[in-house]
Amino acid sequence: MPTYEESLEQFKAETRELGIHIHEELYHAIFDHLGPAVQDRDASLVACSDDEELKTVKENFLIGKLGLEDGPELDSAIKQVCGALGQSNRNKHRTTFYYLLTGILKKESVFISQD
């Protein structure tokens, strides 16, 4: 099993391979928020083909963590991220998925100071 830091570096490398520039502090803060789940293969990935998984993303992260109200814009953002990470990409890492959602919905301040 990879260490916490090895997992972080792997996820960042794979995100860069997709052509996604990351804000280090924000990415690291989201990674930290997810805690030990990032080291569990199943829990560390988001399955865009699983409606229950996407419902959990919306309820637990978008509404629960980011404090957003349920609405069509949340579903739209989730679909946008699924598309951005590629339908055939089976390694949609939760950290990267949440990172992109946070940026799309402009909620970076939940994780980092905007000074």
pLDDT of residue 115: 62
* Alpha-carbon span 23 to 112, nearest angstrom: 10
pLDDT of 92 strictly over 70: yes
What is the percent of the chain where pLDDT is above 70?
97
Which class for 76: exposed (0-12), middle (13-18), buried (19 or more C-beta within 10 A)? exposed
> b or e along 40-50 (b: 16 or more beta carbons within 10 Å of the residue's beta carbon)?
eeeebbbebee
CATH of domain 4-110: 1.10.238.120
Regarding predicted confidence, which is higher, 26 or 7?
26
The pLDDT tens digits of the residues spanning 16-55 come to: 888 888 999 999 999 999 998 888 888 889 999 999 999 9
Confidence (pTM) = 0.91
